[in-house]
Structure 1
Amino acid sequence: MARCEWVSIRWCHVLVLFLTLLKTGKVESRRHYRYSTYLDSLRRFHLWWDVNYKTNTVNFRLLAVVTPDEWFGVGYSQYGKATNADYFVHWTDKDKMHHCKDAWTDQNGLLHIDDQQDYTILSGRYNNHAMIVEYERAFDTCDNYDFPFDNGTIHIAFFIGKGQFHFPEDKNVTLLSPESQRIFMLKPDLPISVHPKDTWTFTIVAPKVTIPAEETTYWWYTTKLPAMSEKHHIIQFEGDIMKGNEDLVHHIEVFHCEVGPNEKIPYYNGPGLAEGKPKGLEVCRKVIGAWAMGAAPLQLPSEAGYPVGGPRYSSHVLLEVHYNNPSIKRVFLSIYLSIYLSIYLIHSNLSIYLSIYLSIYLSIYLTLIYLSLSISL
């Protein structure tokens, strides 16, 4: 039976818990996790998390599909790079002892065990198929080698390597085909609103397209909202990605085309920064919806909604999808964005509030710099 070692004296009581779990072969999930995402297209890494703003900590549950002779690291860095990264590392030595450590890489990608161990192991289990571990970390550990969590997008860096050894000191992570994923970790801790009884939904379906073999692509697709003779309010957005391709989508935005109700917008389905786009799309720049990969459905507060519809409202919209394709691979992919509406007129039109709310939700993506880059024509 495998044994587990957690060296930090500070958390010695965790060793007893972790050993017991490994011997019994059971993992009792310590809590409910509100958010989750797969980190890679092969689904070898599945990450769950929950945010506690009272203690300024994040609780994680990580499932890594690895064999007994493989080791792995999952952590954080600027732009998902394997260098100068902060990692949670697991490996097994030749005596089948499991090690879980707080580690970091230098500018050359060489791995070092951190002198200050800032992960608290809550539970864990290993079998022949996967390692499952629950752990906790503070937003800011006051450790220069740890990556602080903030309200922006967090770049998750991860790798899997072969081998069993006593210590992974000075292992070069850049040689292990490291990958990255982006998540919005510190989501606003907002109360869940109850939908009005007349709530209905429609789904914008982006056609199945071939994603260019480029790291970053902004894809545009023009379509129309359902006909609404009366004014409605948008109260929730929810995205859905083809299974196995979650790592390729960064975020989705819907822009309303500010034209008269009888004016036409040219159809377009292609790269947003490409030459030869039809003229007339510059009017499609008013954000009415957004969703980021790894996020739960974005439900707006009950006091506010975004107004759409009515006799003088154009139904034309432009869907923009930010594809993140670091592996530079060609992929066929469809995307769905469900929008929840109510004819019940809410007191506060969200024209101004939406900008504030979504700036918190999407962080840097709705800044003026981002808009000037992604909407340039």
Structure 2
Amino acid sequence: MLQFQNSVRTRYLSYSFLLYLASVSVLPNLALAQDTNLDWVSFDRSQFDGNAALDTEGNVQVFWKTGDNYSTYGVASRSEGYLALGFSETGAMTGADIAVGYRNSDGEFVLENRHATDFVTPELSDDQTNNIRLREGSQENGVTAFVFEKKNRADCLENQVDVSTDSWQWFIYAFSDENTFAQHGPGHNGKKYIKLGTGTTISVNEIRDIDGAQNFTIAQPEMTIPTQETTYCYTLHKLPEGNKNFILGERPSSSSDLLHHLVVYACYDLPDSAKSMVGEDPNCDFENFSNPCTGFVTEWAPGMTGRTFEPGFGKPFGSDSYEYVMFETHYNNPDGLDDVSATAAYTFLYNDDQVDTEIGTLTLGDYQVEGWTLEPGQPLVPHSTVCTPECTSRWPSAGITAVSVFFHMHQRGVNQHVQIIRDGVEISPLASIRSFEYGYQFSKSIAEVQLLPGDKLITICEFDTSADDTPVPGGLASRDEMCFAWVDYYPANGVIVCSQLDLGQAPDNPLNGTAALCLDAYNDSMPIYPSDQIDASFTPLEERGNACDVSGDATTDEAPSSAGPAGASPTTGSASLSKGLPVLFGAVVVAATALLVTC
């Protein structure tokens, strides 16, 4: 396989938020119960199929009933002023589509559709009749409550959002005892990740106890963070014995605000020479260290919590797969602080009971990390990589089923999505995220998506470089950029990385230019190979979600959906799209060990 010097993946600086940062909660779709402790809610609760408390005290409640084009929501709070419920891609204000209800000076209940462009006061949307529309509202007896409809698929993605009615949706909320819409008071806000759909849940972004589970912890011993801006540190750990064990839950912890990310890598076929790292102090000489571990187990980044798999699901480890993991910590110290100590750890819940479904993780995106740049001074600059059909053909004959995607960029990241090209035609995307926020990262649960052998996957990241006056490099530092998507799927198989590489134009390199990359945990054959699919054209989906002319009013109960058909438009796209500027590595060394991968 190959070995890259100084290549790596991912994460995050400290970030201050203007309006709110609440603890993450995750709730499944709950059957509505006519519980007497909700009698204070003023509207008819029986019209809804689901209900969840948005706050820990139960003083802010949301109800829902999904429909084909529109879904109905009810929200109530024990407050005497405005109440806002937002639909967010990430749990952040940025990009959120917000319904704000309040009583005006004439005593009328008013519903406004607002859109947040950042952590600032949300702006009134041009569309006040079609995307969000009021059914009923009241403010009395210390309760503000209203019921409204929201379109499932947005007409104008510039200031509206799609709602994940088939899976999990982020809600944000704020309330006040004043009817003047302004910044809420302390503690009068929050966010929650709620399952609206009825499909199978594979994992939840919260820490739960698991009956009968054991636990083990991998930890970075206390160390002094170097004064340099960027530091990556590595410790190697031996996992509990057994042919096949299963990770059932993940619990990260750290003691330092300078932590940018934690990553746990699976070590397949680890050389004996590397095993001497077990029990040693962290190796922070990252510029001269090549990580021999290429599989992805899990990661923590700002905004994330622990994760728990549902009963029947788990990630395998043991002598049948991997027995060692590499623990990576990335510290970002832009102010050169001295004498700052830190510890970090990851605790896993596990057992050796065979699960019904084994979960694997596939790495997509720019595995090379370095060697590309983004044009400065632009509001939206794309960068893409291709996972070619030659690699996906190694999947089981029935294919794999994707269940969640963890998108990752740095602070310039705006949008990201993974396209599926099947038989030369783009079908519905695997997953996407708009209005990416660096401090609000999470594993996005999706309705199950089947991927078939021979599919081509294109990972596209879009960045805002308008504040930069020099080219922005891909790289290890927080000030650089990255583009990754980690896909959890079942059933687990050996393909762990599918991407492409810029091999440069070295005369002794038989694969000049761009080549495909496919890392298989159990097969060393052809990790790098030429492919005509990297630049192959395809027929894209018809564009949707940009009908921003809202001059017409919707008066019917079911307005037509704006979603384009899953067929083809007459134009064609390129599988490589905008692949950054090719520079780099000079010659890639084709070696017998593994890739250095880092975040």
Provide TM-score, normalisation by structure 2: 0.36
Selected match of 2:104 from 93, 97, 110: 93
Q: Any residues of structure 2 matched to 1:80-159 within 5 Å, and which? A: 80=92, 85-94=96-105, 98-104=109-115, 109-112=122-125, 114-118=128-132, 128=142, 137-142=150-155, 145-149=159-163
Q: 1:132 to 1:338 in 2, by over 3 A?
A: farther
Distance 2:47 2:220 in 1: 39
* 8 Å Cα contact 1:221-1:320 kept in structure 2: yes
Match of residue 236 from structure 1: 248
Match of residue 13 from structure 1: none
Match of residue 344 from structure 1: 354
Distance 1:188 1:116 in 2: 26
Give SS of 1:102's match: strand
Q: Which amino acid is the alignment partner of residue 114 of structure 1?
A: Q
Q: 1:287 to 1:133 in 2, by over 3 A?
A: farther
Q: Any residues of structure 2 matched to 1:172-183 within 5 Å, and which? A: none
* 8 Å Cα contact 2:219-2:345 kept in structure 1: yes
Match of residue 496 from structure 2: none
Q: What displacement does 1:149 show?
A: 3.3
* 8 Å Cα contact 1:81-1:180 kept in structure 2: no
Deviations 1:186-236 (A, max 9, x none): 88922679xxxx963325477899xx9xxxx999785746421x2124263
* 8 Å Cα contact 1:69-1:164 kept in structure 2: yes
Distance 2:483 2:246 in 1: 26
Question: Does residue 362 of structure 1 match 2:405?
Answer: yes
Q: What displacement does 1:180 show?
A: 8.8
* 8 Å Cα contact 1:76-1:147 kept in structure 2: yes
Deviations 1:312-368 (A, max 9, x none): 843334267999xxxxxxxx998865433324387x865578989796412434969
* 8 Å Cα contact 1:153-1:185 kept in structure 2: yes
Give SS of 2:405's match: helix
Distance 2:135 2:104 in 1: 19
Q: Any residues of structure 2 matched to 1:59-74 within 5 Å, and which? A: 67-69=79-81, 71-72=83-84, 74=86
Flag structure 1 segments of 5+ consecutive residues without an equivalent. Answer: 1-20, 243-248, 324-331
Give SS of 1:297's match: strand
Give SS of 2:404's match: helix
Give SS of 1:364's match: strand
Flag structure 2 segments of 5+ consecutive residues without an equivalent. Answer: 1-38, 204-210, 333-341, 365-398, 409-442, 444-458, 460-481, 486-498, 500-595
Q: What displacement does 1:140 show?
A: 0.7
Match of residue 298 from structure 1: 309
C-alpha RMSD of matched pairs (Å): 6.5
Q: Which amino acid is the alignment partner of residue 162 of structure 2?
A: P
Give SS of 1:264's match: helix
Percent identity over paired residues: 11
Selected match of 2:292 from 259, 275, 283: 283
* 8 Å Cα contact 2:136-2:147 kept in structure 1: yes
Q: 1:120 to 1:137 in 2, by over 3 A?
A: same
Structure with the bigger percentage of helix: 1
Q: 1:316 to 1:49 in 2, by over 3 A?
A: farther
Selected match of 1:164 from 179, 188, 201: 179
Distance 1:279 1:131 in 2: 60
When structure 1 is superposed on structure 2, of 285-294 and 139-148 the one drifting more is 285-294
Match of residue 315 from structure 1: 324
Selected match of 2:240 from 219, 223, 227: 227
Q: What displacement does 1:255 show?
A: 2.2
* 8 Å Cα contact 1:251-1:293 kept in structure 2: no
Distance 2:350 2:149 in 1: 34
What is the count of residue pairs matched by the alignment? 313
Q: 1:319 to 1:234 in 2, by over 3 A?
A: farther
